[in-house]
Amino acid sequence: MVKRIAVFASGTGTNFSALQSAIVERKIPAEIVLLVCDQAAAPVIKRAEAVGVPVLVINYKDFATKAAAETVILTSLYAHQVAAILLAGYMRIVGKTLLTAYPHRIINLHPALLPKFPGRQGIADAFAAGVSETGVTVHFIDAGIDTGQVIRQQRVSVESDDTLASLTERIHQIEHELYPDVLAELIATKKI
């Protein structure tokens, strides 16, 4: 049975494309049936449109509360029969409305080894701290910021000649491999 997936993203969409490519090339039994984006000009929208994935652009400023915005998102998720949500550079904290509707079925990709360096700037924070290694974490989300149960992590050494840009590039390469691997594993083990 093919799992119907929604991807939530706010930016360029490289992880969206990596997931989409892996699903097609590796025959992962999943289909991205919806992109939810909170930035009307985000490049990820063009990536989704190019592969025929419907897009819901949600401007949170148009709603009185986060719950009201998430109710609109939820309506679209249900209409597309979404089984699980993958956050891929989604720069918003998911609220109670979605957490309640999709318990243990919302997954996030974070560019650091949680619990170290949570939040928006995981790579920059790790680099500034001068650590010898950082990495990538895939985890279920909860009501906290990057506090949910870890599914898998992959370590990345910080080399002495690394710049923030070179470390960022290596982290993204790992993300593009790790996220599809975890998706395939979660589906195979019926965890989503």
| Partners of 126 in the β-ladder | none
Tell me how far CA of residue 42 lies from CA of 46, 85, 100, in angstroms.
8, 19, 27
pLDDT tens column, 54-93: 999 999 999 999 999 999 999 999 999 999 999 999 999 9
**pTM tops 0.75:** yes
Checking if the pLDDT of 102 tops 90, the result is yes
Q: What are the two backbone dihedrals, phi and then psi, of residue 59, each rounded to the nearest 5 degrees?
A: -100, 105
First to last CA, the chain: 12
Return the beta strands (E) in 12-112 as ranges.
Answer: 30-37, 55-57, 84-87, 106-110
Q: Select from 185, 99, 175 the least CA-distant residue to 142.
A: 99
pLDDT tens column, 117-176: 999 999 999 999 999 999 999 999 999 999 999 999 999 999 999 999 999 999 999 999
Checking if the pLDDT of 106 tops 90, the result is yes
Contact by Cβ (8 Å): 18, 173? no
Catalytic residues: 110
CA 140 – CA 128 distance, rounded (Å):
26
Confidence of residue 1 (pLDDT cuts 50, 70, 90): confident
**For residue 178, what are its two tokens?**
């790790």
Contact by Cβ (8 Å): 184, 28? yes
CA 13 – CA 9 distance, rounded (Å):
7
Sorted by where each begins, the domain ranges of the chain are 3-188
CATH number of the domain at 3-188, out of 3.40.1280.10, 3.40.50.170, 3.30.750.24, 3.20.20.70? Answer: 3.40.50.170
